[in-house]
Amino acid sequence: MFDKELVKKIRAAFPRAVKDFTGRERAFFDNGTGTLVCERAAKAEAQARVDCSANIGADFDESQKAKETVLAGREAVAEFLNAPSGDTIVSGESATKLLFDVSYAIGKECNGTENVVITELEHYANVSPWNELAREGKIKEVRFARMNLEDGTLDFDHLQELIDSDTKVVSVTSASNVTGTKIPLERMSSLAKEAKAHFIVDAVHHVPHGPIDVQKINCDFLVFSGYKIFGSHGSYMYMNPEYMENLKPYKVKPSAKSGPFKWESGSRNQAMFASIKGVLDHFLWLAEQIQSQYEGKFEEYNTGNRRAYKIAMDASQQYENLLSKVVLEGIDDVPGLLSIPKVKVFGITDTNRLDERDPTFAFIVDGVPNEDIIKYLWEKGGIATRAANFYSYTVEVFNQSKVNRISLVQYNTLDEVKVFLKTLNAICIMK
């Protein structure tokens, strides 16, 4: 796990972790919307934009360098996800666009009798593509597995009832972007495979918080976004090679007929690939700082940088569990969310179950408008966060139009959490 000195080093790797561009000190708790950029990623992106702005496919040096940058980025993402190779990684404008691309391709195989099973914990990026197939008559219906309202977990019994011989796709978030609830993906995969359905994972919210292993999950597709994990905008999808070749995406005629380029619309942004490679270099650096704590662990990930990524993300997850515990229980003499009057937290609140959630907390305060909470946190505590629906189906299930949300990552600190809790306590007492 991280000690105080390592947390300082991590924060130093993010130019805006302590102060924003105006010079104001603040705690950045809006990471679920988009994380701060690490310096390695920003520098790599800028260098790639200057040095290899030419398009790939030519013999001259700048074009060759652009090609090398794209290939290096693909391979790094593949190792990070424990995917077989860089050839299984597709890039895109956004996770939403990639999920629409996959849904359209799958829709071409359907005859209108099939169903798609998703859950009530989804971001609309994993709802609207499937609703669109139903609207167009490509599939019969979209089925939503219920969420347990008391703790924000998935009702597996209901999920199993929904999956049948007509289920074409099971598509699920790896963690809710509202409650932080993680989904047991391997269990989900078994259900999907038994039904001979495609299994798709939206890992956008979980990606900065813990390890991801697409081979262990046994998923057919998994998508995440670079700006949710310390890099630039743009997204990446692992795709089972069988479906990469056999499915038919919408594409222009001259483009590649196989591999990731078959799925990628237009020219690749090499600077985007340089950025994600910079992010993953940050994780390699992080693994070096803590590798002595992992002697004999994760030895099965012994190819390339796979073990290092596993170490870095496991340690991040453990540190974030500590942050979550303090958010809920408090620190020193400052009460946590569970003890602050009028506060209602959505999702898992049992601190013995922190492994079941990411450090994302949605809450409301009885009798106090969400906008007042967010404004007070910013003006009095320097806490940068927001209230919104976060494009989440889950917020609607909770019968809310908006919720307040904080989402923490590896550069956040216990001191920042303490300031947040003090400030929230103050407004709740005043109101």
pLDDT 10s digits, 72-84: 999 999 999 999 9
Q: Does domain 43-279 have CATH number 1.25.40.390?
A: no
Model confidence band, residue 367 (pLDDT cutoffs 50, 70, 90): very high
pLDDT (tens digit per residue) in 268-289: 999 999 999 999 999 999 999 9
The secondary structure of the chain in percent helix, strand, coil, rounded to multiples of 5, reads: 45, 20, 35
Q: Supply the pLDDT for residue 168.
A: 98
Residue 120 scores a pLDDT above 90: yes
Superfamily of domain 4-38+308-430: Aspartate Aminotransferase, domain 1 (3.90.1150.10)
Tell me the pTM: 0.96
Distance CA 71, CA 88 (A): 11
Identify which of 75, 73, 77 has the alpha carbon closest to the alpha carbon of residue 268.
73
**CA gyration radius, the chain:** 22
Q: Supply the pLDDT for residue 39.
A: 98
pLDDT (tens digit per residue) in 4-46: 999 999 999 999 999 999 999 999 999 999 999 999 999 999 9
Domain parsing of the chain, residue ranges? 4-38+308-430, 43-279
Query: Which residue, chain included where needed, has tokens 């080093």?
Result: 9
Residue 430 scores a pLDDT above 90: no
Task: Please state, rounded to an integer, the average pLDDT across all residues of the chain.
Answer: 96
Distance CA 102, CA 169 (A): 11
pLDDT (tens digit per residue) in 91-102: 999 999 999 999
Is the pLDDT higher at 257 or at 357? Answer: 357
Looking at the chain, the whole-number percentage of residues with pLDDT higher than 90 is 95
Distance CA 203, CA 182 (A): 10
Residue 370 · residue 387 · CB < 8 Å: yes
Model confidence band, residue 429 (pLDDT cutoffs 50, 70, 90): confident
Q: Supply the pLDDT for residue 431.
A: 61
Q: Supply the pLDDT for residue 417.
A: 98
Q: Supply the pLDDT for residue 428.
A: 87
Q: Supply the pLDDT for residue 1.
A: 76
Residue 91 · residue 359 · CB < 8 Å: no
Is the pLDDT higher at 214 or at 265? Answer: 214
Output phi, psi for 391, to 5 deg. Answer: 55, 35
